[in-house]
Amino acid sequence: MLKVMLFVEDLAHELFLIPLVERIAGDRSVVVNVESRSVRGGRGRMLSELGQFLKDLESGKAVGMPDLFVVGTDANCKGQLERQKEIEKRIPEKFREFTAYAIPDPHIERWMLVDSHAFKQQFGQGCNAPGTKCDRDRYKDQLFSQICASGVTPQLGGMEHAESIVSCLDIEHCIRNDASFKQFVVRLRRLLA
């Protein structure tokens, strides 16, 4: 069993990424135990907690070295590369080789909408394919309205359905239709090999 340590900026990332990591690992016949370390307080707090944890690991103050790290934050219209560089400033070189960066561009809610068939399996009707426009609440609003259109009232903006949607995702379809999803999955698969 591989130990995966998850550092993400909020609950939405945790709700989507844990089942996605488990699904991708399962597809490769790898059993993982995902432990969430930082999931509240936004990107700044997550980066701070990640940096402190890694310093504590290096100094011996923390125990429990994982087999790999998953670090997740929205690109927020800044781009994946800029966000990855921001994260890597907090990660010593020796930890980078087993870190997967989940950086939805621009927001995690877009990943929930990439596979209309998976959405249909959960809600009884498909969703409109998301564009790649960078509006602050565009994908949150689109996810919420698409779920409401199916007759379901989302309690957590729709992210409470992340695990069910992830279980139905056509991973290869998502890779073809979202570059940020592809980057994460390709890297994670390589780390799980």
Ranges assigned E (strand) in 113-171: none
Which residues form the domain of 175? 2-108+162-192
Q: What is the pLDDT of residue 81?
A: 93
Q: What is the pLDDT of residue 14?
A: 97
d(CA 179, CA 161): 23
d(CA 74, CA 135): 13
48: domain CATH number is 3.40.50
State pLDDT tens for residues 112-133: 999 999 999 999 999 987 877 7
State pLDDT tens for residues 137-186: 899 999 999 999 999 999 999 999 999 999 999 999 999 999 999 999 99
143 located within any domain: no
79 located within any domain: yes
Q: What is the pLDDT of residue 180?
A: 96
92 located within any domain: yes
Q: What is the pTM of this model?
A: 0.95
Q: What is the pLDDT of residue 133?
A: 79
144 located within any domain: no
CA atoms within 13 A on the CB side of 78: 13
State pLDDT tens for residues 60-115: 898 889 999 999 999 998 889 999 999 999 999 999 999 999 999 999 999 999 99
Q: What is the pLDDT of residue 134?
A: 83
State pLDDT tens for residues 11-58: 999 999 999 999 999 999 999 999 999 888 899 999 999 999 999 999
153 located within any domain: no
147 located within any domain: no
Name every residue whose Cβ is closer than 8 Å to that of residue 165 and which is 6 or more positions away in sequence.
112, 115, 118, 119, 122
30 located within any domain: yes
136 located within any domain: no
Q: How many domains does the chain have?
A: 1
Q: What is the pLDDT of residue 64?
A: 84
